[in-house]
Amino acid sequence: MAEVVIVENAAAAGALVADEIARLIAADPATVLGLATGSTPLPVYEALRSRLDGVDVSQVRGFALDEYVGIDPSHPESYRSVITREVVEPLGLDPSRIRVPDGRTEGIEHAGADYEAAIAAAGGVALQILGIGTDGHIGFNEPGSSFASSTRVKTLTEQTREDNARFFPSIDEVPMHCITQGLGTILRAKHLVLLAFGAGKAEAVAGAVEGPVTASLPGSAIQLHPHATVVVDEAAAAGLRYADYYRYTFANKPSWQGL
């Protein structure tokens, strides 16, 4: 099962995960990171700024989880723009080494296979950052997604479109389709780090960590991964049955083990 780390707040989670990413980059300057959008990973990127200050990050590579389909890459809410604004520019990464699935409709039929090939050619993702949707989705793998799925086009649920409407002038402008790494793609990363904050995520977190492994809750795929870490605040941990055990385990974690 995933290792659950319950932290005081989002900033503490950001510091913990940023330390691990900085350690990976120090060990391998060409580390391949799996990047996530959404508000949840922002404290990680924020904490990384100071840790990577003065570090040569010119070789670091990155693959975003997902993108909207039919949105111009220059649209401020395309995930290409979000990743550029929130990760690439502040951390000084080389934009040519950071890929986001191509959501343009022209060529969309082979965009998924192209993305899979690019990840494989890079040697796979070392650490994949994940958020989780209120319906338990990871990436944009909505309920019902196959655990064997690869990068492909999906239709967003009404719930996800409503959740993401805050980034657009109106819900009508939230794209209907997306291209997302599949659950199978995500499971191929060496280390999964899923973050969640706030009471609104408590149910999805409990289902992902302790519920049955089911395509109805795509986040539960992490239970199939040999090295998955779930970093949550108290509010997001509220539904976890074994929260005391997770606290006890983390407090007694051997220092040589790393995250």
Please say which residue, 131 or 211, places its beta carbon nearer to ligand GLP: 131
In the annotation, is 19 catalytic? no
Distance CA 192, CA 141 (A): 15
Phi, psi at 165, each rounded to 5°: -65, -20
Phi, psi at 128, each rounded to 5°: -105, 115
Residue 132 CB, shortest distance to ligand GLP, in Å, is 6
In the annotation, is 142 catalytic? yes
Residue 178 CB, shortest distance to ligand GLP, in Å, is 7
Please say which residue, 112 or 131, places its beta carbon nearer to ligand GLP: 131
Please say which residue, 133 or 239, places its beta carbon nearer to ligand GLP: 133
Distances in Å between the Cα of 1 and the Cα atoms of 151, 210, 227, 251, 258 are 25, 8, 8, 18, 17
Query: Do 143 and 50 touch, CB atoms closer than 8 A?
Result: no
Distances in Å between the Cα of 34 and the Cα atoms of 25, 65, 66, 122 are 13, 7, 10, 12
Residue 140 CB, shortest distance to ligand GLP, in Å, is 5
Residue 163 CB, shortest distance to ligand GLP, in Å, is 7
Catalytic annotation, pick one of 67, 135, 163, 233? 135
Residue 175 CB, shortest distance to ligand GLP, in Å, is 11
Interface residues with ligand GLP (CB under 6 A) are 36-40, 65-66, 131-133, 139-140, 160, 164
In the annotation, is 66 catalytic? yes
Please say which residue, 94 or 162, places its beta carbon nearer to ligand GLP: 162
Look at residues 152, 142, 78, 74 and name the one whose alpha carbon lies nearest to residue 108.
152
In a 10 Å sphere around its CB, with 0-12 CB exposed, 13-18 middle and 19+ buried, how is residue 75 labelled? Answer: middle
Distance CA 245, CA 208 (A): 17
Distance CA 226, CA 116 (A): 21
Active site residues: 66, 135, 137, 142
